[in-house]
Amino acid sequence: MMELTRKGEYAIRGIVYLAGRPLDKVCLLSDIAAAVDVPPTFLAKIFQQFSKIGLVKSFRGTGGGFMLGRPPEKITLLEVVEAVEGPIVPNRCVAKIPDCERSNSCNVHPVWKRVQDEVRGALEAVTLKELVSEE
């Protein structure tokens, strides 16, 4: 239960790698994919999603590639995960559009709300800066 998908895992690996590269240079998708051991075509889809919400900037054509959209300390793990996995929703009664008519009287509901808050909090507390391996 509650398992991150490959897509989410790949997304993190990819953007963390990018955050560890010189921030003023573009990075080839194929290089990132090779470095973090992810199928390039799959990673392409992921970075397209990143690009749409500005997490990364993309440049097409010769000399193109990807750059981080913001400084690493301004990007949280929560953003990265939600970019590709959607919102953190441990049960559908805590989704934005809740889907359970029992939620008013249900004693379990607040537990899921709590779980949601804690997970979001844990992921939001971590930025890409802290995730790049410093040595």
Chain residues binding DNA by CB under 7 A are: 5-7, 28-30, 39-42, 44-45, 47-48, 51-52, 58-66
> Who contacts 1 (Cβ-Cβ below 8 Å, separation ≥6)?
none
Q: Among candidates 16, 3, 89, 91, which has minimal Cα distance to 46? A: 16
Indicate whether 58 belongs to the interface with ligand SF4 (CB under 6 A): no
Residue 27, strand partner residues: 66
d(CA 116, CA 123): 11
d(CA 41, CA 119): 30
Please pick, from the candidates 23, 34, 53, 108, the single residue that binds a copy of itself as defined by CB under 8 A. 108
Contact letters for ligand SF4, residues 6-35 (x by CB under 6 A): ---x---x----------------------
Q: Are 55 and 102 in contact (CB under 8 A)?
A: no
Provide the binding-site residues for a copy of itself, judged by CB under 8 A: 1-5, 8-9, 12, 16, 77, 81-82, 85-92, 105, 107-108, 111-112, 114-115, 118-119, 122-123, 126, 130-133
Binding-site ranges for ligand SF4 (CB under 6 A): 9, 13, 91-93, 100, 102-103, 106, 108-109, 112
